[in-house]
Amino acid sequence: APVWVSKPLDSSLEEGKPGYLHCYAQASPQPEVSWYRSGMEITPEDSRFKLFPNGTLRINNVEVYDAHMYGCETRTIGGRLSGQARVTVLEKLKFTPTPQPSQCLELDKEITIQCSAKGRESPSIRWTKADGGELPPHVDQRNGQLRFTKVTRSDAGNYTCIASNSLQGEIRALVTLTVAVYIRFKVEPDNTTVYQGHTAVLHCQASGDPEPHIHWMVKDKALHITKNGRIQKMPNGSLIIRDVTTDDTGRYTCVVGNSCSIKDRVAQLYVVDKPFPYHDGEDDDKAPYKMIQTIGLSVGAAVAYIIVVLGLMFYCKKRRNSKRLQKGQDGEEPEMECLNGGAVQQNGHTTAEILEEVALTTMGTVATTEKRHSHASDKLHFPRANLQTITTLGKGEFGEVLLSKAKGIEENEAESVVLVKSLQSRDEQLQSDFRREAEMFAKLSHPNVVRLLGLCREADPHYMILEYYDLGDLKQFLKISKSKDDKVKSQPISTKTKVSICAQVARGMEHLSNHRFVHKDLAARNCLISSQRRIKVSSLSLSKDVYNSEYYHYRQAWIPLRWLPAESVFEDDYSTKSDVWAFGVLMWEVFSLGEMPHSKLSDDEVLEGLKMGKLKLPAPDGCPSKIYKLMVRCWAPGLKERPSFTDIVHALGDQPPDSKV
Q: What single-letter amino acid sits at 481? A: S
Does the pLDDT at position 252 exceed 70?
yes
605 annotated as a binding-site residue: no
584 annotated as a binding-site residue: no
DSSP designation for 55? S
94-182 — its CATH code?
2.60.40.10
DSSP assignments along 155-199, one per residue: G-EEEEEEEEETTTEEEEEEEEEEEEEEEEEEE----EEEETTS-
505 annotated as a binding-site residue: no
DSSP designation for 410? S
Q: In this structure, how many other beta carbons lie within 10 angstroms of the beta carbon of residue 12?
A: 11
Spatial distance between the Cα atoms of 442 and 515, rounded to a whole number of angstroms: 12
Instruction: Tell me if the bond preceding 210 is cis, omega within 30° of 0.
Output: yes
pLDDT tens per residue, range 603-628: 999 999 998 888 889 999 999 999 99
474-661 — its CATH code?
1.10.510.10
Asked if the 363-468 domain carries CATH number 3.40.47.10, the reply is: no
CA-atom Rg of the chain in angstroms: 29
Mean pLDDT confidence for 209-232: 86
What CATH topology corresponds to 3-90?
A: Immunoglobulin-like (2.60.40)
Specify the 3-state DSSP secondary structure of 280.
Answer: coil
472 annotated as a binding-site residue: yes
- Predicted confidence at residue 345, as pLDDT, reads 30
Percent of the chain with pLDDT over 70: 81
Specify the 3-state DSSP secondary structure of 92.
Answer: coil
396 annotated as a binding-site residue: yes
- Predicted confidence at residue 377, as pLDDT, reads 55
Among residues 597, 589, 595, the alpha carbon closest in space to that of 565 is found at: 597
DSSP assignments along 510-534, one per residue: HHHHHTT---S--SGGGEEE-TT--
Q: Which positions are annotated as active-site residues?
A: 521
**Which is it for strands 192-195 and 262-272: parallel, antiparallel or unpaired?**
parallel
- Predicted confidence at residue 491, as pLDDT, reads 67
579 annotated as a binding-site residue: no
541-564 as b/e, with b when 16 or more CB fall inside 10 Å? bbbbbbbbebbbeeeeebbbbbbb
**Which is it for strands 157-165 and 32-37: parallel, antiparallel or unpaired?**
unpaired
pLDDT tens per residue, range 96-107: 888 888 888 999
395 annotated as a binding-site residue: yes
144 annotated as a binding-site residue: no
Report how far apart, in Å, the C-alpha atoms of 165 and of each of 118, 201, 543 are: 10, 61, 32
Spatial distance between the Cα atoms of 407 and 99, rounded to a whole number of angstroms: 23
Mean pLDDT for all residues in the chain: 82
DSSP designation for 89? E
Q: Which of 8-17, 234-243, 454-463 has the lowest mean pLDDT?
A: 454-463
pLDDT tens per residue, range 539-560: 888 766 778 889 998 877 889 9
Q: Which of 328-332, 357-361, 629-633 has the lowest mean pLDDT?
A: 357-361
Residue 129's Cβ-side half-sphere holds a number of Cα atoms within 13 Å equal to 12
The more confident residue out of 273 and 196 is 196
Report how far apart, in Å, the C-alpha atoms of 103 and of each of 95, 111, 129 are: 16, 11, 15
Does the pLDDT at position 127 exceed 70?
yes
188-272 — its CATH code?
2.60.40.10
397 annotated as a binding-site residue: yes
Specify the 3-state DSSP secondary structure of 204.
Answer: coil
